[in-house]
Chain A
Amino acid sequence: MSNVIKIAAFLAFSYIAVPLAVGSNAYVIGLIVAALTIGGIAVAWALLGNLGGMVSFGHAAFFGVGAYVSALLTLRGGWPVFPAMLVAGLGAAVASVATMPALRLRGPYFALAILAYAEIFRILATEMKPVTGGAAGLLSIPRLPTVLGLDFGSKLGGYFVILTIVVAAMAVYHLIRRSAYGLALKAMHDSEDATRVVGVNSTVLKAWMLVVSAFITGMVGAFNAHYINFLEPDYAFAGQWTTLAIVSAIFGGYRTVTGPLVGAVVVYLVDQLAFKPILPQGHQIVLGVLLGAMILFSPGGLMPLLMAKLSRKEGPAHAA
């Protein structure tokens, strides 16, 4: 199947088939929206990890910043929702600039430095009461609006919004990967100096990946704020956002564009539908097991593993 057909099929499935099938079931749509929200963060995380070469343990920072910026702009500033969401993405991108000194750090240090930033933002959000409503949070955040007769404030409407954000994120990931920048980023994993010597400004390139990743995550956070209409620091900056995104991205295969999304949908739905009923407290243990199993047996993720097995069944091996 050529790529164009695959993409068209995917778009048709998500924009047409899914709404038709389960659009009226608020519970299912709600679940799917949640899964897509995680998927969005997962794509952004994978972009940073794969292209930027940096693993982050604090993506919740960008999620929360985006959520608060959009909520405050609409609630206090009277801004319309969609522009506010864009600015929220920019806000998260700007926040990522604050984290840039951490780019100099080696892998594990960077991962945890971002975690520290997430904690700092959370505490700031809790303490800056007059601005952020403090620990009590913000209520009655404006819903997604009605545009051209389409009510995006409904559950199904929200579905389309987040779906579009995630699809756009995947497109960005794909385009960067394919470009000369993607090549340079790939080469940088080997040796930054070797790329610098041929003119690549590796520091700036990595910084851009961080900015893009933060922007996407910020927009997803903003979407979430308008979807549930409520925000508080412990929720907005919860480690869960990061954890679920990481598990999804790694499970689905973070070196691929579609992996994180597929991972998010599978992991989240299975967790909510299968494990939560059985183990109401502590069902997330499954996530830990999944993560551990993935790292040990298939760091590339489960999806690539399955794909490889499937293609072996189909016929002679083709280039990966």
Chain B
Amino acid sequence: MLELTLQSLFSGVLSGAYYALIALGLALVFGTMRVINLAHGELVLLGAYISYTAEEKLGLDPLASLPLALAVVVATAMVVYYLVSMIKKDRELNSLILTFGIGVILTNAVLMIWSADIHSATTPWYHDATILFDTLFAMQAELVFAALGIILVGAVWWWLEKSWYGRALRAVASNRDAAKLMGVNPQLTEVLSFAVSGLLATVAGVAIYTAKVIQPAMGHHLTVKAFIITVLAGMGSVPGVLLGAVLLGIVESLTVTMASSALQELAGMVLFLVVLLLMPSGLFGRAKRRG
């Protein structure tokens, strides 16, 4: 029983690092522009499918396909940004509906281009199992991308906290006009945050392609997951995204082990609602003062 629980926790942590990759892009854009990009999951999906095409048609190892995937996904993210920036009134809500529509477009585009078949990486190395500490089992792909996930989260956190661009981003997030007065170009920082979001989405997409399976309907699903984690994390907290993602991963994993795999999604949703209703500013977010 203990072994099972440990394995469950371990798998949960690995999934969590994965999820963090998926969620971070969404959280970043949400944090800087107060825009929830409901097409984010589709960006991840796009990254995955480019990776698939590179492997199928060009025989490229998925990791090697990253540059190509990056180009496509980041370009798409730029288009999304451009469209969102065209919204004049009620940005919060209208961008929600707009990106929802963009998500529908992307999902259907993927469906049309690649058909509804399920795919997964064929390069064998990724699916090989590794055993850690003699008891914990994981796929090599899972390990690689979990590690990448943690590294990227750390990198983004460092970037936001320490670098000039990162500070500018945070300045714009908290007070756009004041930031402008200090010489920060809000548009540039917003473009930047969307671009980084696209980068993160690409890596997440490749990760999913290698370690799991992909199909067009997933886009929506991924967005919802990313949003759940963003809510868990609370606004403005990058470490929170990792912790929230790991929490979700563990909750799901434990549910699968102790109850049934069908209830996995349910557990995530319930966790989401509980946090949303009881702790609206998330587990780690900055609490808002009641006026």
Binding site for B on A (CB under 8 A): 55, 57, 101-102, 104-109, 111-113, 115-117, 119-120, 123-124, 126-127, 239, 243, 246-247, 250, 279, 281-285, 287-292, 295-296, 299
Contact = CB atoms under 8 A, between A and B. Distances in A.
23 contacts: A102-B273, A104-B277, A107-B96, A108-B93, A113-B273, A116-B224, A116-B269, A123-B269, A247-B101, A281-B111, A282-B108, A282-B109, A282-B111, A285-B112, A288-B106, A289-B101, A291-B97, A291-B104, A292-B101, A295-B97, A296-B83, A296-B86, A299-B94
A291 B115 CA distance: 23
B269 A243 contact: no
A127 B262 contact: yes
Contact of B103 (A120, A250, A288, A299): A288
B96 A291 contact: no
B96 A102 contact: no
Contacts of B266: 119-120, 123-124, 127
B114 to A, nearest CB: 10
Contact of B97 (A126, A127, A246): A246
A184 B177 CA distance: 33
Interface string B248-291: 00000000000000110110011011001100100000000000
Main secondary structure of the interface of B (DSSP, over half): helix
A186 to B, nearest CB: 16
Contact of A55 (B96, B98, B106): B96
B265 A119 contact: yes
A43 to B, nearest CB: 18
A281 B101 contact: no
Q: How large is the interface on B (under 10, 10 to 19, 20 to 34, 35 or more residues)?
A: 35 or more
B65 to A, nearest CB: 24
Nearest to A247: B101
A281 B115 CA distance: 8
B276 A284 contact: no
A114 to B, nearest CB: 10
Contacts of A288: 101-106, 108
A282 B112 CA distance: 6
B165 interface: no
Nearest to A124: B266
Interface in B32-68: 36
B93 A55 contact: yes
B4 interface: no
B170 interface: no
Contacts of B188: none
B81 to A, nearest CB: 13
Contacts of B270: 120
Given A109-B231, A127-B262, A127-B263, A285 B92 contact: no
Contacts of A239: 220
Nearest to B227: A112
B100 interface: yes
